[in-house]
């Protein structure tokens, strides 16, 4: 039953056409939510976006008209600039709002719910005055699927609205279909006061708060997509909690199809922290992509199946080039909708970024304003041609390798799970766990990586980032690990779990991997998922045999693979592995009081195996000395 106040507010504040669009959705909770924030934020206008091409086109045109985006020379391409100090996820001011008695652990940023709601609602008072509010409806996952979650976004940024229209499946008709049964996520965003360059001014009041009780995310005084595109990483928090309650998983994972012998396609899900090769792995030439970032996983008929809640890519552009990233490169150089952010715009209205083919232009325009070689910031640091966290946004259907199962409401069957991070001295390029529990603990829960420019703070610090999901957890860490252990428990043949490391260095500091070698590691994992090749048993896991990799390098990359390279890459570094066990153990002993006991038992077993290998072989063990496991 609609309350009178909600009815009166919506009639008074929405023009007739937008009011008609909204009330077509029979959901009093939705109407009350929208009315509340229309009154509080006080926008000049309210636009309700349906799934129609006209509505979607209007938002893109508004982004250009207002200057939040500027058109480039290539048809359909636009560029957006965030503020100079608004270029990454603000981990410090991203907090869970928790009621008394709820504790997610010391490593998870949280504050009192009542205090946080009061603060954020005080900031929101009249914050949209002079702006237009966009009401958008989306579906996280394929339409009409048990995997999916409906979501409503309120934002006064047409850049955010335009980005989400590229990244997510339109959900207006899904809301109409579901009516009052829709259990939807809610997102409230305002860029706040804008400066002359149409970037957020009040960065000191930047806040990103997640209210798990009400499944609502608030984001204010910021435009950077990681803080504002609510359905992306922000939506993961309430989704992780809902998944935990209902017995499924929300993961920071790509989903891709790896094509094996006889045209067999095996689907893999993979978790990597930012700038660790996640998107480039999911985009390997010859394979197909279902998603590059987030996955919902459910058990169905004894099989793990997964969907991508997104339909687009908000990808890091640094390093994208024509040789290594042919498919993305082609999409970024073809007519059609692409939003570039925080790249360099040339005088010809082209774009340039760090790692792009060719020489840097002498001058241009980007997030710092007018730019030329040698420009420095107020601290005397050189300003690069593009920000290290510069991005591109596009619909995946523009990619030639998009998998035909992208929108399958039943998802895809997962044959393998991959964990990868930045590790210069310990992990081999690819290895397989002994079993599900060993993989969850030593490859997932023990995932380490060096920090990157994707988050604010110092780069190059090695940190535990379990399942590459630590920043997004909305349940205690111990509970999250238990969920993973239990998830594979009842499966007769759970997916194989693997780890990869593209950043291993030799004694001279050089990378032991070529960027394209990951294509070979994928093919080996595909073969192992069906037990079509043997493996070498080490104290830390199962590694490839030289003969198999030599054949795969020739078949996949048409190049030789010398035995000396194999030995350099796959030598077991015993001392480094033991140090890693110590670091992981220390993290869980000191920071995670609810750690499942089995984690310490599995780590201790790994330590004992490593010590035994050290006694027998020394600190560095050639893979040629280790036994082969059928």
| Residue indicated by tokens 């984001």 | 219
| Largest pairwise CA distance in the chain | 80
The answer to whether 318 and 388 have CB atoms below 8 angstroms apart is yes
In a 10 Å sphere around its CB, with 0-12 CB exposed, 13-18 middle and 19+ buried, how is residue 606 labelled? buried
Q: Round to whole Å and give the CA distance between 90 and 237.
A: 15
| pLDDT tens-place string over residues 436-469 | 999 999 999 999 987 655 455 555 578 899 999 9
CA proximity to 267, closest of 285, 284, 287? 287
The answer to whether 418 and 258 have CB atoms below 8 angstroms apart is no
| pLDDT tens-place string over residues 196-243 | 889 999 999 999 999 999 999 999 999 999 899 989 889 999 999 999
The answer to whether 373 and 144 have CB atoms below 8 angstroms apart is no
Q: Residue 510: CB partners within 8 Å, gap ≥ 6?
A: none
CA proximity to 526, closest of 282, 221, 266? 266
Catalytic site residues? Answer: 276
- pLDDT recorded at residue 326: 87
Give ∠ CA 240-283-267 in degrees, rounded to 5.
60
Q: Residues 355, 321, 285, 513: what is their CA dihedral angle, to the nearest 10 degrees?
A: -30
Phi, psi of 325, rounded to the nearest 5 degrees: -135, 55
Q: Round to whole Å and give the CA distance between 503 and 522.
A: 16
Q: Confidence class of residue 66 from pLDDT cuts 50, 70 and 90?
A: very high
- pLDDT recorded at residue 452: 56
- pLDDT recorded at residue 458: 59
| pLDDT tens-place string over residues 275-297 | 788 888 998 989 999 999 999 99
Average pLDDT, the chain: 93
**Measured in Å, how far apart are the chain's first and last C-alpha atoms?**
65
The answer to whether 533 and 527 have CB atoms below 8 angstroms apart is yes
User: Which DSSP string do the residues of 60-112 spell out, in sequence order?
Assistant: HHHHHHHTSSEE-SSTTEEEE---TT--SB-STTEEEEE-TT----TTS-EEE
Q: List the domains of the chain with CATH numbers.
A: 4-68+87-246 (3.40.449.10), 250-311+406-629 (3.90.228.20), 314-398 (2.170.8.10)
């Amino acid at each position: 039953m609609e309350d009178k106040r909600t009815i009166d507010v919506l009639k008074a504040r929405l023009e007739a056409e937008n009011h008609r669009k909204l009330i077509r959705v029979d959901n009093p909770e939705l109407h009350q939510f929208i009315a509340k924030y229309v009154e509080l934020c006080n926008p000049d206008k309210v636009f309700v976006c349906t799934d129609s091409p006209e509505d979607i086109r209007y938002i893109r045109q508004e982004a250009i008209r207002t200057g939040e985006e500027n058109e480039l020379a290539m048809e359909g391409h636009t560029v957006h600039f965030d503020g100079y100090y608004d270029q990454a996820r603000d981990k410090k001011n991203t907090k869970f709002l928790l009621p008394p008695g709820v504790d997610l652990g010391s490593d998870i940023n949280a504050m009192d719910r009542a205090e946080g709601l009061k603060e954020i609602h005080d900031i929101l008072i009249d914050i949209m005055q002079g702006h237009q509010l966009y009401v958008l409806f989306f579906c996280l996952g394929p339409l009409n699927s048990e995997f999916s979650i409906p979501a409503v976004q309120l934002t006064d940024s047409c850049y955010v609205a335009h980005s989400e229209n590229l990244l997510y499946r339109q959900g207006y008709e899904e809301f109409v279909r579901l009516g009052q049964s829709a259990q939807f996520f809610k997102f409230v965003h305002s860029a706040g006061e804008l400066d002359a360059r149409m970037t957020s001014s009040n960065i000191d009041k930047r806040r990103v708060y997640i209210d798990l009780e009400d499944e609502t995310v608030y984001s204010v005084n910021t435009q950077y997509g990681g803080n504002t595109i609510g359905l992306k990483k922000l939506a993961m928090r309430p989704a992780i909690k809902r998944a935990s309650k209902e017995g499924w998983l929300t993961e920071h994972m790509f989903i891709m199809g790896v094509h094996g012998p006889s045209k067999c396609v095996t689907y893999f899900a993979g978790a990597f922290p930012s700038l660790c090769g996640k998107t480039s792995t999911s985009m390997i030439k010859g394979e197909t992509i279902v998603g590059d970032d987030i996955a919902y996983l459910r058990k169905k008929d004894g099989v793990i199946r997964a969907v991508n809640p997104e339909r687009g890519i908000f990808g890091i552009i640094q390093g994208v080039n024509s040789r290594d990233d042919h498919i993305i490169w082609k999409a970024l150089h073809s007519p059609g909708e692409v939003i570039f952010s925080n790249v360099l715009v040339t005088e010809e209205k082209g774009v340039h970024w760090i790692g792009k083919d060719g020489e840097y232009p002498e001058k241009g325009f980007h997030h710092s304003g007018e730019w030329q070689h040698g420009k420095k910031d107020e601290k005397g640091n050189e300003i690069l041609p593009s920000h290290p966290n510069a991005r591109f946004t596009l619909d995946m259907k523009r990619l030639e390798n998009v998998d035909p199962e992208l929108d399958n409401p039943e998802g895809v069957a997962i044959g393998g799970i991959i964990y990868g991070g930045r590790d210069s001295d310990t992990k081999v390029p690819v290895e397989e766990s002994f079993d599900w529990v060993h993989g969850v603990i030593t490859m997932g829960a023990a995932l380490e990586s060096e920090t990157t420019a994707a988050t604010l703070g110092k780069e190059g610090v090695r940190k535990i980032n379990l399942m590459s999901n630590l920043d997004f957890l909305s349940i205690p860490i111990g509970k999250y690990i238990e969920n993973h252990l239990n998830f594979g428990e009842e499966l007769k043949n759970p997916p194989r779990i693997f780890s990869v490391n593209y950043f291993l260095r030799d004694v001279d500091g050089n990378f032991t991997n070529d960027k394209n070698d990951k294509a070979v590691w994928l093919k080996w994992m595909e073969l192992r998922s069906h037990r079509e090749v043997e493996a070498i048993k080490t104290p830390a896991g199962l590694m490839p045999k030289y003969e198999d990799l030599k054949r795969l390098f020739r078949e996949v990359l048409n190049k030789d693979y010398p035995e000396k390279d194999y030995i350099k890459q796959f030598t077991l570094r015993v001392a480094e592995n033991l140090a890693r066990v110590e670091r992981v153990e220390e993290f869980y002993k000191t920071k995670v009081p609810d750690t499942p006991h089995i984690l310490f038992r599995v780590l201790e077993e790994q330590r004992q195996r490593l010590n035994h290998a050290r006694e027998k072989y020394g600190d560095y063990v050639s893979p040629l000395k280790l036994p082969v496991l059928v």
